[in-house]
Amino acid sequence: TLGHPRTPRAGMATVMAKQARIHASTRTCRTIARRGNVRARAEPKRVQAATTATPVEWDQVAEKLDEASPLEIIDYALQTFGDEVAIAFSGAEDVAVIEYAHLTGRPFRVFSLDTGRLNPETYRLFDKVEKRYGIHIEYMFPDTAETEELVRTKGMFSFYEDGHQECCRIRKVRPLRRALRGLSAWITGQRKDQSPGTRAAVPVVQVDPVFDGKDGPGTLVKFNPVSNVTSAETWAFLRTMDVPVNELHSQGYDSIGCEPCTRPVLPNQHEREGRWWWEDATAKECGLHSGNVMDSAVDGAKEEAGDLYTSSNVEEVSKDEMEKMATSGADVSTMAVIYAPWCQFCQGLEPAYEEIAAQLQGTGVRVAKFRGDTERDFVAERFQLQTFPRIVFFPKAGAKEFVTYPSDRRDVENLMAFVKALE
């Protein structure tokens, strides 16, 4: 069902007036709406994604819109695709995208995935959003037979034992595919800062690399209008515009999904750490033997991968020295990373590891590295290593036990706290 704002299409003066209030309220909101003086346009032009979604054209559009405000990007999406584009709403802070759509004054559609496992607070937000904007959210539900088979075979909480992928595939991914097959474009609330390393390259518009649209593979256009907006800027906008938000946010939930797979986060934890927390350690590491499955196809890539942690502040240590430090302690307190150059997570660690090495110069703590993929049996036996990277701290001689860094948050601040706690 096409969702319509409660009021008729607003004049551009109204839109600009609302933006002016954003500008006057906070500096953050000025950043969000800095380019938001949308000009009057003709009625939405209907275009077929199949005739426009060529990689070159949409790459050019993405480049032009990269500095645009979310309001401009959403207005462009709604003007271009009309009722063949819809907003994906999860029931969290992505309600900001709906507010932006409302500010354009154009009709817009909203759909949401009702997995059957959402929190009551999320359902209450759905109701508030429908009433505030005078729309009907298009709910997508999982296939009944598939869901029954999963639960009857594996129980209600199988994802705690064998991972969330199967449950998500049935309850989220397949319903999403059904929704998108009826569209030429969709609008998400993805932000680059939500999950550094996996969402850091989210463009504001792209041809969807995963899902198909109504005109087949390679034709679905995906808009990420808040890609360049931070969490702080998003919340400043929501407060300024008095937008209804999920009650769970006030209870420590930064990222909200299904009830069994979402929990509050502690101060200074990243917002995505509240999702699928029991999988985080493996989800952010490379398996000890994952290189084996690549031997035939990626041997060349492994050879091409240059070494890591090449800063002069990081010392390469030998197998014999690693053995000595593990059994007898170190001559000087040493933090060492056990790594594989081809592992994307080891590569992602490099900037932070070299930075902390620089900061620890002259403190009496040595920062070292040991390549573990060439000594798999040794690191597995001596350090119980199953995944790369592994960071260990060897206290100076006299304290024989090495300590393994326990967290998957491998940033400078947390690594430094780890060193200070042991030094």
217: cis peptide before it, omega within 30°?
A: no
Instruction: In whole angstroms, give the CA distance from residue 257 to residue 117.
Output: 9
Write out the DSSP string of 282-307: HHTSEETTGGGGGHHHHHHHHHHSPP
- Known active-site residue 258: no
Give Dmax (Cα) for the chain: 78
| Token output for 338 | 């056990």
- Catalytic residue (choose from 167, 168, 286, 346): 346
Strands 138-140 and 334-339: unpaired
Report helix, strand or coil for 350.
helix
For 236, residues 6+ apart whose C-beta sits below 8 A from its C-beta are 25, 26, 28, 29, 32
| DSSP designation for 249 | G
For 135, residues 6+ apart whose C-beta sits below 8 A from its C-beta are 3, 4, 5, 108, 109, 110, 129
**Which residue has tokens 């449950």?**
167
- Known active-site residue 346: yes
Query: What's the one-letter identity of residue 256?
Result: I
Total count of residues recorded for the chain: 423
- Catalytic residue (choose from 167, 168, 286, 343): 343
Strands 205-207 and 221-223: antiparallel
For 160, residues 6+ apart whose C-beta sits below 8 A from its C-beta are 260, 278
* CB of 412 closer than 8 Å to CB of 352: yes
| DSSP designation for 170 | I
Active site residues: 343, 346
